[in-house]
């Protein structure tokens, strides 16, 4: 049954092919159902394969199909490595993927390019599966690039708007910086191991020299930082919210961005063999990212931007886990995060759909009355991400914090602070959107005016560098509060609940966000299913915590208190209006700590000069060399051409010259006796 | 100083001066006359080398026929005017030509000097002795009609062909008819076969 | 075989005459003068052959000269025919005008 693994990526590929050629003819909604069906079938196949994998030794199954690149020493096969790690990943990739496909049928209803959307989604699922299943680095890279390309295609799906196209380009280019790291790692790995096969690499890694391992590890880290939107390459993820919400849910919450974490976990033997400072670097990057992103999320007004920065922050937690030696914790959080983040994103999509494409949270409020199912799912996702027991997020986040504490108390404190802020901004979002007074409709002017007085200070003068969402009118206005208030007068939306194709996935995901914690309960060894499952992959290099029950319970208590404090603070500010929100929603946070702005300035200024220098070099030296060869040929030929001038006497002269030379040559060969 | 040497010396001077005259004269007629001088000198040299028949043939054929023919053509075509020797359109032609000439002489002289007495190698009297028993004419004739009879006949054929060729070449062409316009290839009657705008575009 | 100095001198003379004819051929443009230079060269060759015949005591040197003479005559005939035909079309043509045939 394990042999059926080839079906898992093949099905989405078939879906992609059919939709590519016949999508327009199939049309809406059949194209959507086809796309969903192939991914759902793929998911069912993974379950079958999972059952079969249970019987394999070490729960690992490797199969090679054919040799793709036979080039002497460099052999690349198309083959799959099905080990516990990839098995876990393909299950939730296809599972959540099929739910999101189903969701998209409702969300993209009426779009002019409906079939094309599912074409890209299927291609994406295929690429992601290749990334995870590939048994060598080249296949992983194939998938890596594939998901990057699909991300670009999907972010700029509504490319008629320039901002969306720019966002797609930004994502692709920033990813490319990371891809460079991956490629250098591949070269180094081939040079070191002579093969790019993951099994070969992981088995031979322990004998590696430290500098080599460090080089490969650092390069892989760069790749992961790019793909998983860590500091300093996270700037593309908020802009990527310009894409349709299912895209944000699938790619930028559940799957593509986790590829970086997957890569690091896959390469854990290399990380173990590298220098001491490498895991520290990973952990510090993770900690810094989670904290900074969390603070930025506090000040955002676009419902999707909050979730985008939240994703960046949660990915920071995963990196923190990897750096602290808790690989299984990272994977655990990846899985739970996939569930609750996808749930949150789909919920936000449902809200946007209900609010007729308005994404500004300041126009929302009390939506739970109008959109009960969405609200229910969203609330469960909120509790999960905030780390409230017994939701899944609590367990995974707590495990990460345990490993962080094991590594360093400072990291633990930062992690806790991040958890507090996470709870805070998520509660803020929930309260602003689903509770309080309704700010949509004509009766809400006063409320609006109040909030707008907020905005003109919170929005700041730095402009909309980060805000590329659709239909966010309010932030553009720099006028006084009164003028702004009148602008909002026209928002007479009547929100409504979304169709079942959209609410069903939300509820399913909410269910898993609730219960997924059972995957790895820390109480006894027997309950740590995920740890045991992943042991063949990370066993040796996983840090051992050896927590006593008392310590464990103390940590759990602290985490719970922190989460509840965050929620309480948000309640106080946004529901009870005890403190002024403006003190918290600083412009510094709103503008993303000016990091994006800094990058833009650098690229426009010294960066541009550098690139122009490189372009000049390319033009003068390289093109000059190539053109120089041409010019040399032309010049030489022009000179040689003068020999053929058409004069017979000249030709006779040349004949005579040749004769003399031949005679002279013969004379040198002749000897006189 | 035997007679041969003296004769050789005098004739050598004549020959060389005549050669220079051919090359350096402006007037082609002067060149022809210098050529006559050279040919005569060569004929005397033949005599000096016991090639009596050849000397006679040289005078009769070369001087008496060829040079005369050249002079005829010169007069016929009126090319007896002075050539323009001052300009030389090809850069370096003259220098290179002189160098090549010097080179050729140098090569031969090198062989002769290095070889010295043994410059000429080869079997003696392969065909027939120079003057063995018979006089020159007899010997020459005998060889021509026995050993070399085939080339003799071929050269006879060659002469015939040359004569025919000369006649054909110098025939005045009949009234040259203009090449008729080809039949029109389009339907439109008398359009000449030039590329129309559309055809040029294809 | 021992060659006397005189015989060697004949060869040297022939070489010089040949060189003169060659230079003349390369330098002069008038077709008739060029033909005459060719005659010079052929004569030089004739002298060489006869000298060899003398040195080697062989009659075939002179036989060859005989044939050279015949062929030279034929060649001049045809060459002059060409000159005539050419000059009829284009009076005052010289060797350099062949350049016009160049593509």
pLDDT tens figures, B10-53: 999 999 999 999 999 988 899 999 999 999 999 999 999 888 89
Answer whether A202's CB lies under 8 Å from A189's CB. no
Determine if the peptide bond prior to A29 is cis (ω within 30°): yes
- C26 and A646: CB-CB below 8 Å? no
B44: contact with C, CB 8 A cutoff: no
CA distance B48 to chain A (A): 29
Answer whether A415's CB lies under 8 Å from A314's CB. no
Nearest to C96 among A647, A653, A656 (CB): A647
Q: Are A528 and A409 members of one domain?
A: yes
Question: What residues of chain A lie within 8 A of the CB of B90, using their CB?
Answer: 645, 647, 649-650
Q: What totals of helices (H) and strands (E) does chain C contain, helices first?
A: 3, 0
Residues in chain A, pLDDT under 50: 442-444, 453, 455-490, 673
pLDDT value for A472: 37
Nearest CA in chain B to C6: B5
Question: What residues of chain B lie within 8 A of the CB of A660, using their CB?
Answer: 100, 103-104, 107
Q: What percent helix, strand, coil does chain A show, rounded to 5?
A: 75, 5, 20
pLDDT value for A434: 86
- A646 and C99: CB-CB below 8 Å? yes
A649: contact with C, CB 8 A cutoff: yes
B117: contact with C, CB 8 A cutoff: yes
CA distance C29 to chain A (A): 8
Question: What residues of chain B lie within 8 A of the CB of C33, using their CB?
Answer: 22, 28, 31, 83
Answer whether A248's CB lies under 8 Å from A345's CB. yes
**Residue B57 belongs to a domain:** yes
Query: How many Cβ atoms from other residues are within 10 Å of residue C7's Cβ?
Result: 20
Helix axes A84-107, A327-354, angle to 10 degrees: 0
Segment 7-26 of chain C within 8 Å of chain B by CB? 7-13, 15-24, 26
pLDDT value for A476: 38
Contacts (Cβ under 8 Å, ≥6 apart) of A227: A144, A148, A175, A178, A256, A257, A259, A260, A263
Nearest CA in chain C to A652: C26
pLDDT value for A475: 39
Q: Are B12 and B69 members of one domain?
A: yes
Q: What percent helix, strand, coil does chain C show, rounded to 5?
A: 85, 0, 15
CA distance A651 to A663: 18
Answer whether A403's CB lies under 8 Å from A545's CB. yes
pLDDT value for A635: 92
pLDDT value for B23: 92
| pLDDT one-digit tens code per residue, B63-73 | 999 999 999 99
Closest by alpha carbon to A293, among A597, A589, A574? A589
Q: For residues A475-503, b (16+ Cβ closer than 10 Å) or e, as one string?
A: bebeeebeebbeebeebeeebebbeebbb
Above 60 in pLDDT, residue B199?
A: no
**Residue A615 belongs to a domain:** yes
Domain encompassing residue C82: 5-101
The more confidently predicted of residues A482 and C47 is C47
**A62: three-class secondary structure by DSSP:** strand
- C26 and A653: CB-CB below 8 Å? yes
pLDDT value for A460: 37
Residues paired with A74 in a beta bridge: A71
User: Within its chain, how far is the Cα of A329 from the centroid?
Assistant: 19
Domain encompassing residue B30: 1-83
Answer whether A395's CB lies under 8 Å from A521's CB. yes
CA dihedral A187, A191, A193, A195 (to 10 degrees): 60
Q: For residues A636-653, b (16+ Cβ closer than 10 Å) or e, as one string?
A: eeeeeeeeeeebebbebb
- A672 and B115: CB-CB below 8 Å? yes
Q: Are A387 and A531 members of one domain?
A: yes
C-alpha torsion sign, points A518, A523, A529, A533 = positive
**Residue A226 belongs to a domain:** no
Answer whether C58's CB lies under 8 Å from B125's CB. yes
Nearest to A652 among C25, C101, C102 (CB): C25
A656: contact with C, CB 8 A cutoff: yes
Question: What residues of chain C lie within 8 A of the CB of A645, using their CB?
Answer: 99
Nearest CA in chain A to C103: A646
CA distance A452 to A466: 19
Nearest to C78 among B31, B136, B166 (CB): B166
CA distance B93 to A656: 12
Answer whether A217's CB lies under 8 Å from A128's CB. no
Query: In a 10 Å sphere around its CB, with 0-12 CB exposed, 13-18 middle and 19+ buried, how is residue A618 labelled?
Result: exposed
C53: contact with B, CB 8 A cutoff: yes
Closest by alpha carbon to C23, among C31, C9, C34? C34
Q: Are B79 and B135 members of one domain?
A: no
Q: Return the CATH number at C64.
A: 1.10.287.3510
pLDDT value for A196: 87
| pLDDT one-digit tens code per residue, B73-82 | 988 887 666 6
Using left for φ > 0, alpha for ψ between -120 and 50, and beta otherwise, residue A460 falls in: left
Containing H/E element for A634? helix A623-641
* Probe site for chain A from B23, B100, B110 (most A CB atoms < 10 A): B100
CA distance A341 to A309: 11
CA distance A151 to A258: 13
Answer whether A125's CB lies under 8 Å from A12's CB. yes
Q: Are A422 and A505 members of one domain?
A: yes
Question: What residues of chain A lie within 8 A of the CB of B103, using their CB?
Answer: 660, 663-664
Answer whether A172's CB lies under 8 Å from A148's CB. yes
**Residue B30 belongs to a domain:** yes
**Residue A8 belongs to a domain:** no
B33: contact with C, CB 8 A cutoff: no
The more confidently predicted of residues B116 and C78 is C78
Q: Are A336 and A442 members of one domain?
A: yes
Q: Map A418-440 to HEC letters.
A: HHHHHHHHHHHHHHHHHCCCCCC
Q: Are A540 and A458 members of one domain?
A: yes
Q: Are B142 and B74 members of one domain?
A: no
**Residue A207 belongs to a domain:** no
* Probe site for chain B from A658, A663, A665 (most B CB atoms < 10 A): A663
Question: What residues of chain B lie within 8 A of the CB of A642, using their CB?
Answer: none
pLDDT value for A465: 37
Question: What residues of chain B lie within 8 A of the CB of A659, using their CB?
Answer: 104
Domain count, chain A: 2
**Residue B93 belongs to a domain:** no
**Residue B32 belongs to a domain:** yes
Q: Are A406 and A513 members of one domain?
A: yes
Q: What percent helix, strand, coil does chain B show, rounded to 5?
A: 65, 0, 35
Question: What residues of chain B lie within 8 A of the CB of A673, using their CB?
Answer: 118
* Probe site for chain C from B2, B8, B22, B158 (most C CB atoms < 10 A): B22
Question: What residues of chain A lie within 8 A of the CB of C22, using their CB?
Answer: 656
pLDDT value for A462: 36
Q: Are A521 and A640 members of one domain?
A: no
Using left for φ > 0, alpha for ψ between -120 and 50, and beta otherwise, residue A463 falls in: left
pLDDT mean across residues, chain B: 81
* Probe site for chain A from B89, B98, B103, B110 (most A CB atoms < 10 A): B103
Q: Map A300-311 to HEC letters.
A: CCEHHHHHHHHH
Domain encompassing residue A656: 606-669
CA distance C32 to C24: 12
Cα distances (angstroms) measured from residue A497 to each of A449, A543, B19, B61: 27, 47, 118, 123
Domain count, chain C: 1
Question: What residues of chain C lie within 8 A of the CB of B166, using their CB?
Answer: 77-78, 80-81
User: Chain C residues with CB-CB distance to A under 8 A?
Assistant: 22, 25-27, 29, 95-96, 98-102
**Residue A331 belongs to a domain:** yes
Q: Are A625 and A483 members of one domain?
A: no
Computed over its alpha carbons, how large is the radius of gyration of chain C? 17
pLDDT confidence bin for B177, thresholds 50/70/90: low
CA dihedral A470, A472, A475, A481 (to 10 degrees): 170
C-alpha torsion sign, points A171, A177, A183, A189 = negative
Using left for φ > 0, alpha for ψ between -120 and 50, and beta otherwise, residue B92 falls in: left
Residue with tokens 């840090």: A543
CA distance B36 to B63: 6
Average pLDDT of the residues in B98-121:
82
Q: Among residues B68, B83, B98, which one ends one of the domains? A: B83
| pLDDT one-digit tens code per residue, A456-472 | 444 433 333 333 333 33
**Residue A423 belongs to a domain:** yes
Computed over its alpha carbons, how large is the radius of gyration of chain B? 27
pLDDT value for C69: 93
Q: Provide the greatest CA pair distance for chain A.
A: 127
Answer whether C38's CB lies under 8 Å from C18's CB. no
CA distance A361 to C90: 98
Neighbours of chain A (3+ CB pairs under 8 A): B, C
Question: What residues of chain C lie within 8 A of the CB of A648, using their CB?
Answer: 95-96, 98-99
CA distance A655 to A658: 5
CA distance A658 to chain B (A): 10
Answer whether A351's CB lies under 8 Å from A358's CB. no
Q: Are A627 and A524 members of one domain?
A: no
- B97 and A650: CB-CB below 8 Å? no
**Residue A244 belongs to a domain:** no
Q: Provide the greatest CA pair distance for chain C.
A: 56
pLDDT value for A672: 60
Neighbours of chain B (3+ CB pairs under 8 A): A, C
pLDDT value for A443: 45
**Residue A430 belongs to a domain:** yes
**A525 token code pair:** 């060894």
Cα distances (angstroms) measured from residue A481 to each of A360, A423, B117: 17, 30, 123
| pLDDT one-digit tens code per residue, B129-163 | 666 567 788 888 888 899 899 999 999 999 999 99
Query: How many Cβ atoms from other residues are within 10 Å of residue A71's Cβ?
Result: 8
Answer whether A441's CB lies under 8 Å from A494's CB. yes
Q: Are A473 and A614 members of one domain?
A: no
Contacts (Cβ under 8 Å, ≥6 apart) of A658: none
The DSSP annotation for C12-34 comes to HHHHHHHHHHHHHHHH---HHHH
CA distance A672 to chain B (A): 6
Q: Are A321 and A435 members of one domain?
A: yes
Q: Are A477 and A623 members of one domain?
A: no
CA distance A651 to chain B (A): 10
Using left for φ > 0, alpha for ψ between -120 and 50, and beta otherwise, residue A611 falls in: alpha
Question: What residues of chain C lie within 8 A of the CB of B127, using their CB?
Answer: 58-60, 63
Nearest to C22 among A645, A648, A656 (CB): A656
Residues paired with A62 in a beta bridge: A81
Q: For residues A130-142, b (16+ Cβ closer than 10 Å) or e, as one string?
A: bbbbbbbbbbbbb
- B62 and C6: CB-CB below 8 Å? no
């Amino acid at each position: 049954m394990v042999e059926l693994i080839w079906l898992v990526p093949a099905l989405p590929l078939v879906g992609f092919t059919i939709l590519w050629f016949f999508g327009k003819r199939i049309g809406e909604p059949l194209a959507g159902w086809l796309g969903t069906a192939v991914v759902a079938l793929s998911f069912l196949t993974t379950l079958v394969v999972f059952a079969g994998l249970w019987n394999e030794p070490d729960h690992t199954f490797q199969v090679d199909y054919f040799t793709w690149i036979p080039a002497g020493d460099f052999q690349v096969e198309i083959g799959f490595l099905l080990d516990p790690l990839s098995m876990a990943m393909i299950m939730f990739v296809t599972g959540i993927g099929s739910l999101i496909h189903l969701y998209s049928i409702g969300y993209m209803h009426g779009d002019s390019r409906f079939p094309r959307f599912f074409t890209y989604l299927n291609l994406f699922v295929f690429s992601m599966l290749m990334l995870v299943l590939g048994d060598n680095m080249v296949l992983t890279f194939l998938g890596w690039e594939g998901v990057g390309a699909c991300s670009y295609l999907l972010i700029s799906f509504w490319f008629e708007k320039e901002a969306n196209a720019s966002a797609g380009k930004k994502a692709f280019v920033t990813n490319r910086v990371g891809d460079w790291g991956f490629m250098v790692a591949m070269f180094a790995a081939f040079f070191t191991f002579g093969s790019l096969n993951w099994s070969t690499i992981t088995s031979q890694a322990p004998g590696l020299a430290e500098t080599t391992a460090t080089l490969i590890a650092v390069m892989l880290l760069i790749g992961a930082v790019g793909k998983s939107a860590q500091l300093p390459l996270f700037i593309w993820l908020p802009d990527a919210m310009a894409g349709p919400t299912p895209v944000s849910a699938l790619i930028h919450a559940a799957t593509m961005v986790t590829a970086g974490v997957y890569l690091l976990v896959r390469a854990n033997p290399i990380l173990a063999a590298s220098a001491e400072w490498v895991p520290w670097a990973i952990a510090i990057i993770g900690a810094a990212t989670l904290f900074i992103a969390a603070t930025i999320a506090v000040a955002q007004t676009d419902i999707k931007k909050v979730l985008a920065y939240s994703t960046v922050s949660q990915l920071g937690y995963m990196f923190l886990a990897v750096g602290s030696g808790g690989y299984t914790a990272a994977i655990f959080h990846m899985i739970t995060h996939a569930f609750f983040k996808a749930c949150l994103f789909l919920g936000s999509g449902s809200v946007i759909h209900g609010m007729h494409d308005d994404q500004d949270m300041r126009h929302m409020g009390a939506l739970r009355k109008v959109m009960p199912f969405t609200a229910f799912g969203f609330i469960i996702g909120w509790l999960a991400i905030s780390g409230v027991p017994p939701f899944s997020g609590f367990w995974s986040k707590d495990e990460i914090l345990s490993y962080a504490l094991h590594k360093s108390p400072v990291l633990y404190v930062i992690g806790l602070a991040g958890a507090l802020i996470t709870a805070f901004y998520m509660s803020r979002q929930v309260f602003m959107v689903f509770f309080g007074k309704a700010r949509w409709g004509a009766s809400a002017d006063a409320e609006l005016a109040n909030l707008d007085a907020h905005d003109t200070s919170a929005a700041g003068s730095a402009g909309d560098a980060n805000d590329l969402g659709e239909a966010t009118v309010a932030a553009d206005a720099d006028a006084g509060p009164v003028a702004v208030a009148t602008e909002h007068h026209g928002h007479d939306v009547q929100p409504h609940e979304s169709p079942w194709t959209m609410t069903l996935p939300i509820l399913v995901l909410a269910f898993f966000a609730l219960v997924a914690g059972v995957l790895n309960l820390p109480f006894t060894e027997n309950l740590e299913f995920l740890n045991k499952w992943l042991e063949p992959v990370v066993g040796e290099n996983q840090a051992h915590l050896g927590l006593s029950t008392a310590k464990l319970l103390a940590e759990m208590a602290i985490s719970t208190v922190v989460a509840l404090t965050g929620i309480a603070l948000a309640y106080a500010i946004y529901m009870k209006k005890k403190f002024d929100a403006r003190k918290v929603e600083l412009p510094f946070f709103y503008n993303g700590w000016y990091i994006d702005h800094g990058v833009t300035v650098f690229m426009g200024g010294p960066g541009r000069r550098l690139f122009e220098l490189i372009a000049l070099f390319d033009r003068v030296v390289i093109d000059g060399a190539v053109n120089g060869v041409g010019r040399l040929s032309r010049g030489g030929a022009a000179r040689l051409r003068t020999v053929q001038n058409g004069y017979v006497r000249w030709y006779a002269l040349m004949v005579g010259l040749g004769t003399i030379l031949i005679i002279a040559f013969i004379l040198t060969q002749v000897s006189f006796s | 100083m035997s007679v041969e040497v003296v004769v050789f010396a005098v004739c050598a001077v004549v020959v060389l001066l005549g050669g220079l005259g051919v090359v350096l004269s402006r007037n082609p007629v002067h060149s022809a006359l210098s050529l006559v001088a050279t040919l005569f000198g060569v004929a005397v040299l033949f005599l000096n080398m016991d090639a009596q028949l050849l000397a006679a043939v040289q005078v009769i054929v070369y001087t008496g026929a060829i040079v005369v023919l050249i002079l005829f053509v010169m007069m016929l075509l009126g090319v007896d005017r002075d050539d323009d020797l001052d300009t030389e359109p090809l850069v370096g032609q003259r220098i290179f030509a002189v160098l090549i000439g010097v080179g050729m002489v140098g090569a031969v002289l090198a062989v002769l000097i290095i070889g010295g007495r043994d410059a000429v190698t080869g079997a003696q009297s392969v065909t027939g002795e120079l003057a063995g028993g018979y006089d020159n004419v007899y010997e020459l004739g005998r060889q021509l009609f026995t050993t070399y009879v085939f080339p003799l006949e071929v050269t006879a054929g060659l002469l015939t062909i040359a004569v025919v060729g000369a006649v054909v070449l110098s025939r005045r062409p009949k009234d040259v008819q203009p090449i008729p316009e080809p039949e029109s290839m389009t339907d439109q009657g008398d359009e000449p076969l030039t590329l129309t705008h559309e055809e040029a575009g294809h | 075989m021992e060659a006397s100095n005189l015989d060697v001198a004949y060869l040297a003379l022939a070489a010089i005459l040949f060189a003169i004819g060659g230079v003349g051929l390369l330098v002069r443009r008038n077709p008739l003068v060029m033909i005459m230079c060719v005659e010079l060269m052929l004569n030089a060759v004739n002298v060489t052959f006869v000298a060899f015949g003398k040195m080697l005591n062989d009659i075939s040197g002179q036989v060859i000269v005989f044939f050279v003479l015949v062929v030279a005559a034929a060649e001049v005939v045809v060459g002059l025919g060409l000159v005539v035909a050419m000059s009829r079309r284009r009076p005052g043509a010289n060797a350099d005008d062949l350049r016009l045939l160049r593509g």
